Amino acid sequence: MDNHSLVDYAKSLDCVHCGLCLNSCPTYRITGRESSSPRGRIHLMRSVAEGAIEPDDDFAEEMDFCLLCRNCESVCPSGVRYGAMMEHTRGALEERRQRPWTARLARSIGFGILRDRMALRVTARLARLAEGTGLARLVGAPALPRHAERVLLPTHMPAEGGELARVAMLEGCVMPELLGHVQRATAQVLQRAGCTVQISPMHVCCGSLHAHNGEVKAACELARATIEAYERLTDERGNPLPLIINSAGCGSHIKEFEHLFADDETMAVRARALSGRSFDLSQFLAREPFRSRLMQRLNPKASHQGPYAWDDPCHLCHGQGVRREPRELLQAAVGDGLVPLADPESCCGSAGIYSLLRPRDSQAVLQPRIEALRASGARTLVTSNPGCQMQWEAGIRTAQLDVSVSHLAEVLERASR
């Protein structure tokens, strides 16, 4: 078998083995094991490609253990594209992996549901019903909101106080089911910042979870569908609208769609175009003239659940390099109610569906973050990724802290009423 194809060998050569990534890696920090560090994993990949080791179960286990938080990329002076390498290897491993049929079925159902709005809605309803039986708590599923919360956004929401621009907003797959209030807050904040918000009725999932978990084929299909869906949302001159994303994981993935089309130049060009007009909510709101419009409406006194702490979602700070904007907006919204949180750029352990696949590891990664939160004295933790939001909520419940978790959009919405 060709083990070389398991690895993006050319990218692995960028690593000079300096080790500066070690301390940034959550799995290295909890295990102290070189093989569970970015440098160690790259070393393993290279060893597989060079035939020094077999891509056995131990190898696959180290690849699965990675959270793909990409903190290592932020500190790598050699510019190693670790995330892309890991997605490549996971994809190649998945293709040849012999999973038991039950696991294959579970995966195909799980990843399949995400792609289909009806399936998502039905699943949510069933899950809500199951909650009554206590079954859901038993399997550690997230708590679902009431049905009334789980409504989809209208496809057209007009700007308040005069339209400055029209934008598209990513509604997403699980967000409407689990965090509908965040979606509504996001749309409202955009409206108050002078944007008319449009939702694509045909789009469901961008495929980021698929790509992170080795489902490369599905990820490509979903990326293609996403590109097509948002090419159709245009302004009156026919130019596609900027796409506003409030989920860091999706944003980071959409901005890197191009990598999925290495063999298809036409699609790569269209992917680049979408990446070029995709913005994290905070990134967009920090731009003029929207910023000024929103600032006029922000009233720090309206925030009553302080002190607040900001947690950088990995796929926002490491994946998209967005750090300054959310802090500035939050500062404007809560004034001096913002307190520092130790190690804000390290992973909370949510990592897409990692927390479901590897609950024990996920908890171990979360633990030091919970302690940092406790030490910060914050009463509201603000983040901007659905996975992180739910992970923190679960951890805070277990640790019995008196802290609530909000999406940045919710805080901005409350402060701009």
The contact set with another protein (CB under 8 A) reads 13-24, 28-29, 31-35, 37, 39-41, 43-44, 47, 52-53, 56, 58-59, 62, 73-80
CB nearer another protein, residue 1 or residue 118:
1
CB of 372 to another protein, least distance (A): 12
3-state SS record for the chain: CCHHHHCCHHHHCCCCCCCCCHHHCHHHHHHCCHHHCHHHHHHHHHHHHCCCCCCCHHHHHHHHHCCCCCHHHHHCCCCCCHHHHHHHHHHHHHHHCCCCHHHHHHHHHHHHHHCCHHHHHHHHHHHHHHHHHCHHHHCCCCCCCCHHHCCCCCCEECCCCCCCEEEEECCCCCHHHHCHHHHHHHHHHHHHCCEEEEECCCCCCCCHHHHHCCCHHHHHHHHHHHHHHHHCCECCCCCECCEEECCHHHHHHHHCHHHHHCCCHHHHHHHHHHHHCEEEHHHHHCCCCHHHHHHHHCCHHHCCCCCEEECCCHHHHHHHCCCHHHHHHHHHHHHHHEECCCCCCCCCCCCCCHHHHCHHHHHHHHHHHHHHHHHHCCCEEEECCHHHHHHHHHHHHHHCCCCEEEEHHHHHHHHCC
Closest CB to another protein among residues 269, 375: 375
Q: In this complex, which beta carbon is closest to another protein, that of residue 54 or of residue 95?
A: 54
Least Cβ distance, residue 104 to another protein (angstroms): 24
CB of 31 to another protein, least distance (A): 7
Shortest distance, position 319 Cβ to another protein, whole Å: 13
CB of 56 or CB of 336, closer to another protein? 56
Shortest Cβ distance from residue 8 to another protein (Å)?
Answer: 14
- Kindly state the smallest distance separating residue 50's Cβ from another protein, in Å: 9
Q: Which residue, 171 or 256, is less far from another protein as judged by CB?
A: 256
Whole-number minimum distance, CB 53 to another protein, in Å? 6
Q: Which is nearer to another protein, 16 or 126 (CB)?
A: 16
Q: Which is nearer to another protein, 28 or 310 (CB)?
A: 28
